[in-house]
Structure 1
Amino acid sequence: MEVILHAGAHRTATATLHHVMRQGRAAMVAKGIAVWDPEVTRAGLLQGITGPGGERLTGRMALRVRQAQEKGAALLIVSDPDMIGSLAEVIAETRLYPRVPLRLSRIAGGIDPAKVKIALAIRSYDAWWASALAMQIARGGAAPGPDLCDRLITQPRRWRHVIADFAQALPAARIAVWSHEAMAGRPDILLRRLTHRRLAFGRSHEHLNAAPGAPSLARLLADAGDDASSLGSVAGRYMPFDPHQRAILRAQYAEDLAWLRAGAGGLADYLDEPALQMRARTDVGRGTPDDPDPRDPRPRDPRHRRLA
């Protein structure tokens, strides 16, 4: 049985994708597809992902995968961005998912590595960090100050480092990457390409779990007795970065996209480039919004994987 680990990232339309898969569960089951979204993964399945006793998680995952196969599933989609770390951890450590290898190796350690695909949506850093910070404020956190914004601009990890961590954790797995910007609102295309099956999903017009806008955040801060006068915004959207900082973050993201277009050093397949899919057989596809674009990964020789 093939297993797709859709590892997020957060704030890249995962909630919308989960909603679409729940709505189309019967159609997916008819195509031999089982789905574990956060309703399953956060009910104890991933317990112990970072602490001691991680081997129990590995065994539990392997057992559950076998059970899904015995029930007739030919493909299992495990979709939860918390697989690679929580949003709160990322913000607290001002690092982009710093513990990916440990987490993924424990989740997939008991699964046939030749049957595993890892799927990841990425997003421009200025919008991604702003969305993440907006969610933190909405959950009672403080608005970030200039020091935190400076640290986020200079933090060394990029999406390409997260992708390299995937390859380190599961060298035999195929990796598919797409951009939020190209595929937001298109879970139909994403699921068709990821599963390599024709599924009757339409375009999604719902943007679930979207980050609150600047006016809503200002009211929340004011109600909590905090100063909201310096809360930045662009066209009503919360934006903690000034124009110079945004330019830096967008340039960093442009470098990631250029790296992906150039072949990602053999690490991943970039699903925003559908024309490139014609060069080889494809198994995974393209990508979708919560606040998501995909091409199918081809098997690579792990010895050729390197981070450019």
Structure 2
Amino acid sequence: MKVILHTGAHRCATTSFQEYMRQNVHGLNRQGIGFWGPYRTRKGLFHGIQPGPAQVTGRDLVQRAQGRLRIRMTGCRERGIKQLLVSEENMIGAVRQNLRLGDLYGGVGERMARYAQAFGGAVSDVALSIRSLDSYWTSGLAFAVARGHKMPTAASLDRLAYSARSWRGVITDIAAAMPDVNLHVLPFETFGTRPEAALTALTGIKAPHAHARVRLNASLCLQDLRASLPPAAAAELPEGTGRWRPFSDAQTAALREAYADDIMWLAGGADGLAALAQDPDKQAAGTNPPRKDLTRGRPDDKQRRMAGSG
């Protein structure tokens, strides 16, 4: 059985993808596709994989987690599941930690190495969704502030905007932690609103279109964000409506440039570490692509009226 870990990232339409999978789970089971999402993983399935408080029972929590996973995977195989997709964005870390440290999933390598051990070498593929860093951090800030996180300072925004770490570092860390798996990178700009395309890219099946346009957990716009905060915090937000834009033009440009470099690196092969997922709905041009007639200026054979020499 092929095991695919879909690791998010956060704020990349991961919750919407998980809802799409849940709504279509019975039809997907008939195609041999199994799904584990947060409703399952956060009810004890992953307990013990990551370090926690010191245990007092004498039980090996890591060994127990491995046993739980093997039992569940065996059950999936017996039900005829050929590809098991496990979607849990908290495998790679948390947005709050990213904002607190001003870093992009700094401990992702160690975390993913523990999941690789817990699954006992059964993982064949890992999928990571990424998005432009300016919109990722903006969405993360809006999500955190709406839940009580303090407003970002000028220094913290500078730290995020000019950080040396980008998605390339995250991808490199995952590849180093799980060198024997296929790492797929799905840009949010291509797959964020099309979970069926993401599923096809990862599994190769003809994914259902039902429930593919559900949007969950979207960032609040300025007016809604202002209404959700205490008056003192709301007063720190800018006036107006629409999307909150905490970064300056220069900071936004730096973040977009870093993301463009990441995409160029991925398109160039990512040093053999990862593959940039291709849109399954786009057909590549053949050996002889169609030629379109383009005309520049006046046709050469058109007669022109010359002024007299007078």
Change (3 A) 1:21 1:203: closer
* Residues 187 and 203, structure 1, Cα contact 8 Å, conserved in 2: no
The match for 1:257 is 263
The match for 1:293 is none
Helix, strand or coil: the match of 1:11?
Answer: coil
Offset, 1:202: 4.5
The match for 2:2 is 2
* Residues 145 and 151, structure 2, Cα contact 8 Å, conserved in 1: yes
Q: C-alpha distance in 2, partners of 1:188/1:83?
A: 22
Q: C-alpha distance in 1, partners of 2:64/2:158?
A: 40
Offset, 1:60: 3.2
Offset, 1:156: 2.6
Post-superposition Cα deviations, 1:69-103, rounded to whole Å, max 9, x if no partner, equal: 23321111000110111121221121111111222
1:190-205 to structure 2, matched below 5 A, reads: 190-202=198-210, 204-205=212-213
**Aligned to 2:252, which of 237, 240, 246?**
246
Q: C-alpha distance in 2, partners of 1:197/1:185?
A: 18
1:284-295 to structure 2, matched below 5 A, reads: none
Q: Please say which of residues 26-35 and 138-147 is displaced more in the overlay.
A: 138-147
Offset, 1:171: 0.6
Offset, 1:155: 2.6
* Residues 65 and 118, structure 2, Cα contact 8 Å, conserved in 1: no
The percentage of counterpart residues that share the same residue type is 37
Q: For structure 2, list consecutive stretches of 5 or more residues without a partner in the other structure.
A: 53-60, 286-310
Offset, 1:154: 2.7
Q: C-alpha distance in 2, partners of 1:73/1:13?
A: 25
Helix, strand or coil: the match of 1:3?
Answer: strand
- Higher-Rg structure is 2
Post-superposition Cα deviations, 1:11-63, rounded to whole Å, max 9, x if no partner, equal: 11111111111111111110111100100111111223331554443443333
- The residue identity in structure 2 corresponding to 1:254 is A
The match for 1:181 is 189
- The residue identity in structure 2 corresponding to 1:241 is F
Q: When the two structures are superposed, what TM-score results if normalisation uses the length of structure 1?
A: 0.83
The match for 1:154 is 162
Helix, strand or coil: the match of 2:127?
Answer: strand
The match for 1:104 is 112
- The residue identity in structure 2 corresponding to 1:70 is E
Change (3 A) 1:204 1:276: closer
* Residues 84 and 100, structure 1, Cα contact 8 Å, conserved in 2: yes
Q: Please say which of residues 98-107 and 108-117 is displaced more in the overlay.
A: 108-117
Q: C-alpha distance in 2, partners of 1:232/1:54?
A: 47
Q: Please say which of residues 227-236 and 114-123 is displaced more in the overlay.
A: 227-236
Q: Please say which of residues 146-155 and 7-16 is displaced more in the overlay.
A: 146-155
* Residues 233 and 240, structure 1, Cα contact 8 Å, conserved in 2: no
Superposed CA RMSD: 2.4
- The residue identity in structure 1 corresponding to 2:245 is M
- In the alignment, does 2:74 pair up with 1:76? no
Q: Please say which of residues 71-80 and 3-12 is displaced more in the overlay.
A: 71-80
Helix, strand or coil: the match of 1:178?
Answer: strand
Q: For structure 1, list consecutive stretches of 5 or more residues without a partner in the other structure.
A: 279-308
Change (3 A) 1:209 1:273: closer
Post-superposition Cα deviations, 1:188-245, rounded to whole Å, max 9, x if no partner, equal: 1111221111232257333211011111112223xx2324344258961112101111
The match for 1:208 is 216
Q: Please say which of residues 250-259 and 139-148 is displaced more in the overlay.
A: 139-148
Post-superposition Cα deviations, 1:119-170, rounded to whole Å, max 9, x if no partner, equal: 0110011100010111111112222111111111233321111111111111
The match for 1:164 is 172
Q: Please say which of residues 224-233 and 265-274 is displaced more in the overlay.
A: 224-233
